[in-house]
Amino acid sequence: MEKLDYHVPGSTIILRIILETNMAIERAALGRTILRAQQTLRQHLQQYGNSWLPSELDPYEVDDKRSGKCMIGMQSKKKTGTGEESLTYQGVYDVFQGLYDALYFRRKSYAAIYQIHNGTTTVGTGKLVGGNIPHLMTSEE
């Protein structure tokens, strides 16, 4: 087990991550999963701007559809759709940037749980799991 705190540059998001170092995740699957989520979130932000995450997307989950070897999820502390204890699209994007920087870039490809803080306020929690997750595997490329 390894603990780390990571402040996402250019944002107010701080991640408090607990890595399960005995549960490795395929690094390529981790990278694909993060980048796929960021692409989707970037498109939303460019088209619609920032807003609270709607209840049907909270918890927000994304997986590596190619291999089924990685899934990342997060949810707001309070799923009210508004308020400082809820996630926004920009906040979720920043979380994925933090996971990329703190885990993928630093070659720390492990299962993890994490808390999401916006400044001093806890706004959510998340998880990162890997392995052969059968319900995630599809024939998509």
Q: What is the pLDDT of residue 80?
A: 59
pTM for the complete prediction? 0.88
pLDDT in tens, 101-138: 999 999 999 999 999 999 998 999 999 998 765 444 34
Q: What is the pLDDT of residue 42?
A: 96
Residues in the chain: 141
Q: What is the pLDDT of residue 136?
A: 40
CB 122 within 8 A of CB 115: yes
> Do the strands 70-76 and 2-7 form a parallel or antiparallel pair, or are they unpaired?
unpaired
Instruction: Identify the helix (H) or strand (E) that includes residue 37.
Output: helix 27-48
DSSP symbol at 54: P
> Do the strands 2-7 and 13-24 form a parallel or antiparallel pair, or are they unpaired?
antiparallel
Any residues with CB less than 8 A from the CB of 98 and at least 6 apart, and which?
6, 8, 13, 15
pLDDT in tens, 5-20: 999 999 999 999 999 9
Local structure of 56: helix, strand or coil: helix
pLDDT in tens, 12-71: 999 999 999 999 999 999 999 999 999 999 999 999 999 988 888 888 999 887 777 899
